[in-house]
Chain A
């Protein structure tokens, strides 16, 4: 009898509690399991996993995160999509792969493309990197733009200020142009013991080409000819050996001479170590540098980490006229290096509603905001709100550091002339040709012009091999020109 009473009580309690449980599932995806795939963690994968826990609690659905090593991720996704398999409901991928994936992706439901949260996404992502031929096919889940980092203590030292002004004739300050950047590098290299001028990645296979792109963007991303930085958007002829690129490469090589002696072997990890180790006065790279350098456990310069947008130029090469166009002011031209991981839902997925809802949750201001300050997620700011919530960043930065870091991030992704990274089918074939010649130019085996002429010839040959019309269509779509 006692047992019957107990069971009856439990049943009544369960019935009474049921509406409360249903109310918690909003929207209700009970019994729905979606499969998300990305690279092996922690970077990006842990962001998906952390968001999965919250989404599961909110919707009663399930998320299975399947991770593949970086080298396996592309073939795994592309073969799954091309074969019409519905193995993945959410794919998180590098933006350079977008041209190969977009034919198989579903469009983001219109309900997610409105409201404050939508407007909160920085325009360069919302209007360019997430859009393909006029359709929103993916959601940015990580922001990637190159910015500038410098040592506040060195820049504000009175002796340095006086010494710099005496030598160069203008005040030591955050560089507005690449010329000023190199002057600053030279000054610290020559005048401050134990400090080298700058740090950038120069190692083949160590993200080197994105650093060249950042230099070259200032001279080749013409505001009147969007999308013409890498190729002529009408003919698909390579532009990489034009005078703007040559100037960018010359300055990149000059920067390598003003960096620590080992810099030719620097990948981005070493750039961070050099800056956080107090070896250099300044550096360029992704937002990770500022976060690592501000952490007293990893850094010798915590408390003195300043940030700004990338240096730029007043003169931009006009590929149509073959002349240099001069502007009254420095043209702010940040470079969207890599462009940030994208999340999308394949057309073949049978659980598109749940999948898009999960992506919406993952990229919501609150969840993504927490991810930007959570170590190991690899998520950098991509929403305006990521860069305005000072309270969230107070745990990492001092007030001034936070203000400069977030200001640099925001100013970069909202700049009118922000330059987009190259996204093309066979992306790695293009960048490999560049990397090989870049290494030769850096080690002085060939001149910058010779190196870039070889790259241009290689790129044109590759474009013909892959189909010029197809490549042109993909390039124009990637630059938002269709």
Chain B
């Protein structure tokens, strides 16, 4: 069979069609809906409204607040996950006693479903029956409003995110650390470089591409947070812990405002895309430097 053989179409087109139907069609369908006024409650015939849904979103205070809240949760939790994860990965890469046990036990949280984690966290943070508040009460502190005051609630969500997803960061960074060349460190040893100098001079630069990828993946994933927030705070108090996906859920599945929800989904995509592009643009010179 040559490149010009028409039989190639027989093999190519089914694959192209499957990709179109399974991947592209839902996106196009959703995009088309975003240009419509499409409400199931009360049931109304679909009506083309052009960019009206997007224009409404741009002036929707609640949309910008959830963008801000989601960004805060995502960047704060991922930054801390990265710092803690890097530190633990560095300690695990060394031949310390019990390293295998710690590797397995550190990975356990990420194997639990986020909803289950959120339920456990909600119980632990319960002001009357939760062990954490019982402990603080024992030391004379009053019950802390972990889930019912904005600052505490945001902090609690971030802590739960860190607890659950730091293991993934550890796993990926550990793989990166184990692949670093030994001879560079041996040379550094010969030059009497301290541990700190080895970290900043060798480990960190060599790990930068891997670190950038890990941070990027986690930020994108964190922007999708919904289950933890839904279970722990329901987005409250008010809408102070509401995230983009939870907002989309409320619009789509409680109010059945499908046109607006589709526009919201594409705006979500735009927000993540813009953040990604900015992130990569900032990082590009550093990555080039250590290539």
Which residues of A does B touch, CB under 8 Å?
71, 74-75, 78-79, 82, 99-100, 203-206, 260-262, 264-265, 279, 425-429, 432, 436-437, 439-440, 442-443, 445, 466, 470
Chain B residues lying within 8 Å of A260, measured Cβ to Cβ, are 127-128
Asked whether A265 lies within 8 Å of B250 as measured between CB atoms, the reply is no
Asked whether A439 lies within 8 Å of B41 as measured between CB atoms, the reply is no
Asked whether B127 lies within 8 Å of A205 as measured between CB atoms, the reply is no
A203's partner among B39, B43, B234 (CB-CB below 8 A) is B234
Asked whether A425 lies within 8 Å of B237 as measured between CB atoms, the reply is no
The answer for the CA separation of A466 and B44 in the assembled complex, in Å, is 10
Chain B minimum-CB-distance residue to A204: B236
Asked whether B255 lies within 8 Å of A261 as measured between CB atoms, the reply is no
B238 within 8 A of A: yes
A-B contact list, 11 entries, CB within 8 Å: A79-B43, A262-B129, A262-B130, A264-B145, A264-B147, A426-B39, A426-B42, A427-B41, A429-B41, A443-B236, A443-B238
Question: Are A261 and B143 also in contact (CB < 8 A) when A428-B254, A432-B254 are?
Answer: yes
Task: Give the contacts of B31-51 with A (CB-CB under 8 A).
Answer: 39-43
3 nearest A-B residue pairs (beta carbon): A425-B42, A264-B148, A261-B143
Task: Give the contacts of B147-166 with A (CB-CB under 8 A).
Answer: 147-150
A204's partner among B39, B129, B234, B253 (CB-CB below 8 A) is B234
Chain A residues lying within 8 Å of B147, measured Cβ to Cβ, are 262, 264-265
Task: Give the contacts of B13-65 with A (CB-CB under 8 A).
Answer: 39-43
Asked whether B255 lies within 8 Å of A428 as measured between CB atoms, the reply is yes
Asked whether B236 lies within 8 Å of A75 as measured between CB atoms, the reply is no
SS class of chain B's interface: helix, strand, loop or mixed?
loop
B239 within 8 A of A: yes
Chain B residues lying within 8 Å of A78, measured Cβ to Cβ, are 40-41, 43
Q: Chain B, 221-263, contact with A by CB distance < 8 Å: what is the 0/1 string? A: 0000000000001111111000000000010011111000000
Asked whether A442 lies within 8 Å of B127 as measured between CB atoms, the reply is no
The answer for the CA separation of A440 and B235 in the assembled complex, in Å, is 12
11 further contact pairs, Cβ within 8 A, besides A204-B237, A466-B42? A75-B40, A78-B40, A79-B43, A204-B234, A262-B128, A262-B148, A265-B148, A436-B239, A439-B237, A440-B238, A443-B149
Chain A minimum-CB-distance residue to B45: A82
Task: Give the contacts of B105-135 with A (CB-CB under 8 A).
Answer: 122, 126-130, 133
Chain A residues lying within 8 Å of B150, measured Cβ to Cβ, are 443
Chain A residues lying within 8 Å of B41, measured Cβ to Cβ, are 74, 78, 100, 425-429
The answer for the CA separation of A445 and B148 in the assembled complex, in Å, is 12
Question: Are A432 and B255 also in contact (CB < 8 A) when A203-B236, A205-B235 are?
Answer: yes
- Shortest CB distance A353–B (Å): 28
Asked whether B238 lies within 8 Å of A445 as measured between CB atoms, the reply is yes
Chain A minimum-CB-distance residue to B230: A205
Chain A residues lying within 8 Å of B233, measured Cβ to Cβ, are 265
Chain A residues lying within 8 Å of B129, measured Cβ to Cβ, are 262
SS class of chain A's interface: helix, strand, loop or mixed?
helix
Chain B minimum-CB-distance residue to A203: B234
Q: Chain B, 71-99, contact with A by CB distance < 8 Å: what is the 0/1 string? A: 00000000000000000000000000000
Chain B residues lying within 8 Å of A279, measured Cβ to Cβ, are 128
Question: Are A445 and B237 also in contact (CB < 8 A) when A79-B40, A82-B43 are?
Answer: yes
Asked whether A426 lies within 8 Å of B255 as measured between CB atoms, the reply is yes
Chain B minimum-CB-distance residue to A446: B238
Chain A residues lying within 8 Å of B145, measured Cβ to Cβ, are 261, 264
Chain B residues lying within 8 Å of A71, measured Cβ to Cβ, are 253-254
Which among B42, B133, B149 has the greatest number of chain A C-beta atoms within 10 A? Answer: B42
Chain B minimum-CB-distance residue to A273: B129
Chain B residues lying within 8 Å of A264, measured Cβ to Cβ, are 145, 147-148, 237
Asked whether B40 lies within 8 Å of A74 as measured between CB atoms, the reply is yes
The answer for the CA separation of A75 and B253 in the assembled complex, in Å, is 9
Chain A minimum-CB-distance residue to B149: A443
- Shortest CB distance A274–B (Å): 8
Chain B residues lying within 8 Å of A262, measured Cβ to Cβ, are 126-130, 143, 147-148
Chain B residues lying within 8 Å of A100, measured Cβ to Cβ, are 41-43
Asked whether B234 lies within 8 Å of A205 as measured between CB atoms, the reply is yes
Chain B residues lying within 8 Å of A206, measured Cβ to Cβ, are 234
The answer for the CA separation of A470 and B42 in the assembled complex, in Å, is 10
The answer for the CA separation of A425 and B257 in the assembled complex, in Å, is 13
- Shortest CB distance A178–B (Å): 23
Chain B minimum-CB-distance residue to A435: B236
The answer for the CA separation of A463 and B121 in the assembled complex, in Å, is 39
Chain A residues lying within 8 Å of B239, measured Cβ to Cβ, are 436, 439
The answer for the CA separation of A205 and B237 in the assembled complex, in Å, is 11
The answer for the CA separation of A439 and B242 in the assembled complex, in Å, is 12
Chain B minimum-CB-distance residue to A75: B40
The answer for the CA separation of A205 and B233 in the assembled complex, in Å, is 9
Chain A residues lying within 8 Å of B234, measured Cβ to Cβ, are 203-206
Asked whether A437 lies within 8 Å of B238 as measured between CB atoms, the reply is yes
Chain A minimum-CB-distance residue to B62: A436
- Shortest CB distance A273–B (Å): 9
Chain A minimum-CB-distance residue to B258: A75
Which among A205, A279, A425, A427 has the greatest number of chain B C-beta atoms within 10 A? Answer: A205
The answer for the CA separation of A383 and B129 in the assembled complex, in Å, is 38
Chain A residues lying within 8 Å of B250, measured Cβ to Cβ, are 432
The answer for the CA separation of A470 and B41 in the assembled complex, in Å, is 13
The answer for the CA separation of A427 and B149 in the assembled complex, in Å, is 28
- Shortest CB distance B271–A (Å): 22
Asked whether A443 lies within 8 Å of B237 as measured between CB atoms, the reply is yes
